[in-house]
Amino acid sequence: MSGGGDDGRGVHVKSSGRDSATLAGARVVVNAGPTYEDIDPVRFLGNRSSGKMGFAIAEAASLAGAEVTLVAGPVALATPAKVVLRVDVRSALQMRDAVLEAVRGADIFIATAAVADWRVAEYSSHKIKKGTRGARALELVENPDILAEVAALDPRPFVVGFAAETERVAERARKKLERKKLDMLVANLVDEHVGIGADDNAVELFWPGGSEALPRASKLEIANALVARIAGRFRAGRHA
């Protein structure tokens, strides 16, 4: 069995064939990509997330036998092979609603999305014009923490978070893992060669009492390795 998807370069990528059904029967929810927080009809607050890592994970989980729901922010990527349901959203609030609906009864939630931390307090229904008195100050309010909300559910799925950092990766990853009470956290150092927007990635996995580094590889290869690790810890927890 094999499958493929768009790697963001318009090239069809063949999967590595990891179809050993390590997640057979599991319901998995993946969120991916950025969120856009509209300021007015032509401007928004956003980030550089391409969604490539999340889409690769959704594909890898599907090929591993899972029933996958993908909640996607605004990205230009084709739906991965075998994904059961894709829900497209734009804002953090829309992503929150879609994720909380999708995780009902789910076994695993993999939170790869780069959800905006803030949104504007007041959306302008008309384009904000330049004034003679300089730039207009925008009042921002915090968006909900989707990952923390899912981790606090009872019952809750096995929760995997992601953290993109520019420094002190291990230290900050450990703190996030413990603070949000996650089952696993995937962290990576962002630079011009790996991480956001790039085709390759290099990550380090953290879980209570352990960690493992995965060296630089394509995002599809990293996704296959991550899904295998997630499946192992999920199954071990079920039989603990």
Q: Give the pLDDT of residue 202.
A: 85
Asked if residue 126 belongs to a domain, the reply is no
- 50: Cβ–Cβ under 8 A, 6 or more apart, which residues? 8, 33, 75, 77, 196, 197
Confidence of residue 17 (pLDDT cuts 50, 70, 90): very low
3/52: higher pLDDT: 52
Is residue 129 a part of any domain in this protein?
A: no
Q: Are 66 and 23 in contact (CB under 8 A)?
A: yes
In a domain, 91, yes or no: yes
pLDDT at 5 over 60: no
pLDDT at 192: 52
What CATH number corresponds to the domain at position 110?
Answer: 3.40.50.10300
Query: How many structural domains are present in the chain?
Result: 1
Structural domain boundaries, residue 56: 4-10+20-119+141-238
134 belongs to a structural domain: no
Task: Determine, yes or no, domain membership for 75.
Answer: yes
| The model's pTM | 0.86
Neighbours of 155 (CB within 10 A): 5
- Residue 134 pLDDT: 52
- Is residue 125 a part of any domain in this protein? no
Mean pLDDT (whole number) for 171-196: 83
User: Is 224 part of any domain?
Assistant: yes
Which residues carry out catalysis? Answer: 47
- pLDDT confidence of 232, banded at 50, 70, 90? very high
Contact 71/30 with Cβ under 8 angstroms?
yes
In the numeric block, which tokens belong to residue 111?
């939170």
- Per-residue pLDDT at 2 exceeds 60: no
